[in-house]
Structure 1
Amino acid sequence: MRTRLRTPVSALAAGALCLMAAACGSGGSAEANGGQVTSAAAKAVIADAEAAYAKYTRPQPAASVPALPSPAPRGKRLAIVTCSIPVCVTLSRGAEEAASRLGWTVTTLQSNSTPQGFVSVMDQVAADPPDALAYIPTVPDSSIRPQLAKLQAAGTKITEVAPLGDPLKQKGPVQAVVFGQSDAALTGTLMGQAVVADADGPAKSVFVWDPSFVASWGPIKNAYQKVLKGAGRQAGVLDVSNANIGKTVQGQIVSYLQAHPDTKYVALAVVDYNTGLDAALRAAGLAGKVKILSRAADASSLKAIQAGTQWASVGLELAAGGYRAVDQLIRMMMGVPLGDRADAPGWQQIYIKGNVPQTGTKPEPPDYAATYHTAWHVG
């Protein structure tokens, strides 16, 4: 990466421009860069990537939380519907901790990540409506419309985490989201910008994801591809299944790299794809030949970055995301308008070897719990 930074230009605007100056007929100059022709538009995307990379590799402060007009209600019942992969577990534990601090009774139900299992869990919640519900969907809301309608009729306040679509476009039972589409798009943009900045221009990369999560992960993939294309090179895509995390996903990644040996960066839609990947790369003689970038950094990915077996990871507010969900539910109960807190990008941070905190430190916003406790008037 170049040490100097150019004046940042909107990547979204620049990405919409054509990539080749000659093709646009703009008359702009072009230069060779990694075997690619870099147009003025591509240079702007690269400059924007370098500026974003410089910003988000610096420690990012936690967002402020507006104080409630009075103490948060106590003694409520919260149901949490989560999934089995570690990032879901971390988020749901954050919500449990937040609710417990308020004296709420929490019931956490884990679906088996199948449509049938998820619908069965939602049937269970609807049979005994709680005061509040935070859920991570496995199927679109259209598949659980009766359950949501029953909960809404019972007065249950509902927030959705990583929604499969945009439930806020329609007036329905879901009144707030965490990790909505705007958050996902920011993550994908940062992942793409990290690659472009590190490569100082066009780079051969592959984005690894589960296409069955297109409604929630599509904005991540699309934003990533947009940045790479804007810089001058289309990103590859590898489809895997989350059900095969730690089983066959690492082998699929290795097979892709063997078939595309000029690939320099592997972008993982979720950090859990790291399971078994380092060993698989070493066994295939690929260790150190590609740079691994993951999403939703956890303690193991930070350790891998320190060890040099992974290049970077985008940190998200996982446990803090659970706090954000509870905060939304509190405000709904109290009739406090959510405003942009109904769907806003959460805290994000690009971790690299130079900024990884001490081993054991969780990749979360600084002092997030105390920030929420203060806003809720919790001593």
Structure 2
Amino acid sequence: MHRSTLATAAGLTVAALTLTACTSGGSTEPTTADSAEAGDAVAQASAFLAPWDGDGNKQLLIDEPLNEPVAEGTHVVYLDVGTPVSAVMWANLQTPAELLGLNLERVEVGRDAQSINSAMNTVVELAPDGIINITLDPIFFESQIEELDAMGIPIASGSVMNTVEYGLPEAFNGPDWMTANGEALGAAAIARSGGATEFVFYNIPEFPFSEYEQAGAADKIGELCPDCTLRVVDIPIAELGSTAADRVVSDLQAHPETEYFIAAVDEVQIGLPAKLSLAGIDVKGIGMWTAPPNYEQIAAGEEDATLSVDLGLMMWTVLDQLLREMQGQAYEWPDAQTRAANLTRVTTQANVPEDPVRGYVAIPDYQEQFAANWLVG
């Protein structure tokens, strides 16, 4: 029976974690001991995933009223990095902006250093009351952060891993949150595959959060299945929405031993099922940061699963943090797993949302709860 040993390289870098393998001789047929080990791994994975099953009474991460109502016309800038999920995030800000009477402005920052620098100079000139940043690495606008700080303009972030290092407030879904959800991805890969041993992780190097998902997945797979292998393959951000699915097909053709895959962002899977079918490849997978087409593919039985994030709740939570920063109000985030499971759930065809655009809803009445905390009405 072919076996491989997973070894996680020391340190978290954008480069892939190093995994090594070894081979032992023997029959190609699974033994009773092998089957028992696989079954045990699946059982442990399923037990670990309990907080991510979507059940339970989930609460707002910060459930305290603001010090005072938000002034009509408060100017908030949203930094748009130009991805499909970023567009969904922008859309999810419209309802709370209307509720609060915000002057919400969208600034496209681009994807290269020059474009980002130019866009952030524009943001400084706009001098808004607050800024929302989703995924843009502060390393690209360090000088503007200093200017904005001197002007007393706070920045609340989502899916940014190094906020504290640049003097910004800690994001609720920073490194610990991403690592915890990465562990959920790793456990789901074992559970959904029925105890497979050969996995691949599709990493997006330009997204700093991707390496933390990868690390969490590697750690959990290594813990539950020490003899499993997790390969890592980089997919450039520029290929999302274009040739990412083709790269996955080519990789799986080159590695027919692969039994299940994990994608750092589920955009990798958009259009992938049809291409896998055309290539005669029957390998399923799970991703995170689900877009509406992913939900449609899951509903059709074409995509196996996704780790859904309630993107609406996420954006209201980031906005809530920004409002508290603007008012100088103290707050504290709960522990990482509570934060992670609060907004995410393993979604399959059995529990896929009816509305693919709205997607997963973690707390049905969260808008009313936020409105109360924001002293609206």
Q: 1:74 to 1:342 in 2, by over 3 A?
A: farther
Q: Tell me if the contact between 1:126 and 1:151 (Cα under 8 Å) persists in the aligned partners.
A: yes
Match of 1:251 in 2: 246
Aligned-residue RMSD, C-alpha: 2.5
Counterpart in the other structure of 2:145: 148
The 8 Å contact of residues 298 and 363 in structure 1, kept in 2 or not, is answered as no
Map 1:85-234 → 2, pairs under 5 A: 85-138=83-136, 140-163=137-160, 165-169=161-165, 172=167, 174-213=168-207, 215-230=208-223, 231-232=225-226, 233-234=228-229
* Distance in 2, Cα, partners of 1:194 & 1:293: 8
Query: How far apart, CA to CA, are the structure 2 residues paired with 1:367 and 1:114?
Result: 39
Structure 1 counterpart of 2:371:
373
Determine whether 1:74 maps to 2:68.
no
Q: 2:302 aligns with which of 293, 300, 309?
A: 309
Counterparts in 2 of 1:225 and 1:73: CA distance versus 1, 3 Å: same
The question of whether the paired residues in 1 share the 8 Å contact of 2:120 and 2:141 is answered with yes
Equivalent position of 1:83 in the other structure? 81
Q: Show the counterpart of 1:4.
A: none
State how far apart, in whole Å, the 1-side matches of 2:66 and 2:239 are: 47
- Residue identity in the other structure for 1:154: M
CA 1:48–1:116: 2 relative to 1, 3 Å: farther
The answer to whether the 8 Å contact 1:98/1:322 transfers is: no
SS in 1 for 2:171: strand
Pair 1:32-2:33 in alignment: yes
Contact persistence 1:177–1:342 (CA under 8 A): no
Moved more, 307-316 or 53-62: 53-62
User: Identity over aligned residues, as a percent?
Assistant: 23
> Do the aligned partners of residues 58 and 143 (structure 1) sit closer, same or farther apart at CA in structure 2, a change above 3 Å counting?
closer
Distance 1:302 1:276, change over 3 A: closer
Cα distance in 1 for residues equivalent to 2:55 and 2:115: 40
1:176/1:328 contact within 8 Å kept: no
Amino acid at match of 2:354: Q
Deviation sequence 1:179-215 (CA, Å, 0-9, x none): 31122112111111111123343431111121232x3
Aligned partners of 2:206 and 2:237 also within 8 Å = no
| Structure 2: distance between partners of 1:80 and 1:293 | 29
Match of 2:256 in 1: 261
Report SS of the residue matched to 1:73: coil
Q: Secondary structure at the match of 2:201?
A: strand
Work out whether 1:273 is the aligned partner of 2:268: yes
Tell me which residue corresponds to 1:10: none
**d(CA) in 2 for partners of 1:98, 1:216:** 26
- Within 2, Cα distance between the matches of 1:328 and 1:102? 14
**Partner Cα separation in structure 2 for residue 290 and residue 205 of structure 1:** 10
After TM superposition, list the pairs within 5 Å mapping 1:43-82 onto structure 2: 43=40, 46-59=42-55, 61-64=57-60, 65-75=62-72, 76-82=74-80
| SS of alignment partner, residue 175 of structure 1 | coil
Question: 1:241 pairs with 236, 245, 249, which one?
Answer: 236
Q: Name the aligned partner's letter for residue 80 of structure 2.
A: T
Q: TM-score, normalised by structure 2?
A: 0.82
Aligned to 1:340: 333
Aligned residues between the structures: 338
Relative to the length of structure 1, the TM-score reads 0.81
Q: Deviations over 1:135-189 (max 9, x none)?
A: 1344x423322101111111112112221x322256x2x1242431122112111
Conservation of the 8 A alpha-carbon contact between 1:205 and 1:265: yes
1:169–1:340 CA distance, 2 compared to 1 (3 A): farther
